[in-house]
Amino acid sequence: MEKILHENTPVNTVAISPDGRHIVCGLDDETVQVWDMEIGEALGSRLRGHTGRVRSVAISADGTFIVSGSDYRIIQVWDMETGEALGAPLQGHTDRVRSVAISPDGKCIVSGSADMTIRLWDRQTGKALGALQGHDGPVLSVAISPDGNRIASGSDDMTVRLWDMKTGEALGAPLQGHTGPVWSVAISPDGKFVVSVSSDETIRRWDMETGRALGAPLQGHTGQVLSVAVSPDGRFVVSGSSDETIRVWDVETGKTLGVPLLGHTGMVRSIAISPDGKRIVSGSSDATIRVWDAEPGEVLGIPRALQRRTASEQVLSIAISPGGRHIVSGSADMMIWVWDAETGKASRTPLQGHTDRVRSVAISPDGNRIASGSDDMTIRLWNMETGEAFGAPLQGHTGPVLSVAISPDGKLVVAGSSDKTIRLWDIETGRAWSAPLQGHTDRVLSVAVSPDGRFIVSGSSDKTIRRWDMETGKTLGVPLLGHTDQVWSVTISPDGGRIVSGSSDKTIRVWDVETGEALGAPLQGHIGRVLSVAISLDGKHIVSVSDDMSIRVWDAETGKVVCAPLRGHTDYIRCIAIFPDGNRVVSGSDDKTIRVWDIGQPFATTFSSNSTHTLCPPSFLHSHPSALGWVLDHEGRLLLWIPIHFHPVVYAPGNTLVIPDDALQLDLSHFAHGKSWNKCPEQEAMLSF
């Protein structure tokens, strides 16, 4: 399933950080942007300094700095962490910089330019180390071998050249065979072959030692091939083209693997592969970045989706009022919404004040106040009844506020941030209640307060869960270890005896609060990251949501699922909450909807005494690629097709409410289905349209 989120400027180039966590892109609007690959969110503001389109970006092997080249003939070096420019721009080229690369040791930068030269630069001093000349046209692409000894370059002169990195001398004759400009070159991880792509619509492989062509050209694209990358294991090549597709090729056989990756609506200008080889990232003139699943052995063709985001309305956080009358949501449109839980209508105009995405919302135990945390690094307090802001924003965090919680007595708000700290604030005075709680070594993604108000639990990108004494701010015991990836969500059971956590490792874990030991085996079933977990007020059920677009309900005692997965959202599900009665849950998604589900009833529907006539959920709710949008009967037969633009807002089995309130609900009370369509009177059929 794919997200459709647009930006107003073409994406010229993409690169992935060595740890696979970040994407860096260069844009037509003269800026560079860093993204979090997991959550698909921009990190900080755009990097500004270029005065021409950014044509190429590269990330150092240690992940500490970025290099970018632009149409204005300069190369800029940036600090990956702070986004600050490191030193003055590198100047020397007399025409557009088309490509940049960084040596494996990070000491040398290589650039290719439309001035027909390749230049080498000392990373520390910024001084030019020499210019390689030999191409008879603009140098469109450069790559450095893994051992740092050789450079490969592709040019408008239709040739590929190999160079000695230390001496600057050309290695052998130009590699000839393309009949059009060579747009991109890449070198295999073992340094044995170079791959080139061209406007002649082909991909060619060359032996690095002999310069000979390896096999026949790879053909299949119907437009210029603009970008190429080689997988970390050297087994496959990925190409992007002006025909708006991405193709994956087997290096050994030269054959395509799976079907072309479709989705872009403009030229695919840049391709990158994650260090673990599991993801492909593409940048396009359609102003999107997309992330695709490249798991070996799987059919390629379903994007994992990440596109540039600005003013979208993804629902990032959900909370339910103590009486269950209202749902509060925080979204990417910088606003907090209060909804009537029965009608699905907005109870008032949205609460406005934040200047960036609202990541988290919480409601005080008396239901009178809302706390919200935002990417703008502030926490705001609001009057639930009037919607007015209560006092000034709470400031102190130096990074986005990713999670907020309110103490049981309603006196304190707790916040976790990407600055790796937890802060406590007095709600009445707005003052910091204590020094920041420090200990996590990465972003604090989730915080929860115990029912007795004595301790705090936090989950982090550092894969750990920590317990903190609310009074002293000190850690309680050792970190809880067991998850093998980021901990997105933590919650505490009503009796205060258990912690429940959800992680990118696709599992839910239950922990003993006192001992810190895991209780039972991890709960497994999701096939994507577990982004949010909740536990019912009676402590009997755990509910989890995932970027696999499903909701699962678990027996808290046995760890078994109690019903089939709830499906209906058409994009990542970010948040979940359980109503006080324990019979309903509410979920928020990147598909811009909020759904209320009844978890106390069966989810198949029938209007016939014949069990084979039972209607099952529409197959698109199960991401079924071959019958997208079809309603199926009990035996999987096609019954009814729903147009794709209705999918995000159609009611799913088990839904009692979908927000926004213009959602589509199918009335199947008079629906008849079968094979004998020829028995329908023609005149009657005509009148029915």
Residue 684: in which H helix or E strand, if any? helix 682-687
pLDDT at 116: 97
Taking the C-alpha atoms of residue 208 and residue 161, their distance in angstroms, rounded to an integer, is 10
**Bridge partners, 227 (sequence order):** 240
pLDDT at 407: 97
Fold assignment, 315-598? Methylamine Dehydrogenase; Chain H (2.130.10)
Number of residues written out for the chain: 689
pLDDT at 314: 82
The 3-state secondary structure of 390-430, one letter per residue: CCCCECCCCCCEEEEEECCCCCEEEEEECCCEEEEEECCCC
pLDDT at 357: 86
Strand blocks (E) in 606-654: 630-632, 638-641
pLDDT at 648: 52
Which residues of the chain, if any, have pLDDT below 70?
1-8, 295-313, 600-689
Residue 258 backbone zone (phi > 0: left; psi -120 to 50: alpha; other: beta): left
pLDDT at 243: 86
> Using omega within 30 degrees of 0 as the cis cutoff, is the peptide bond preceding 660 cis?
yes
Taking the C-alpha atoms of residue 473 and residue 457, their distance in angstroms, rounded to an integer, is 11
pLDDT at 148: 97
| Boundaries of every domain in the chain | 315-598
pLDDT at 616: 40
pTM higher than 0.75, yes or no?
A: no
pLDDT at 2: 37
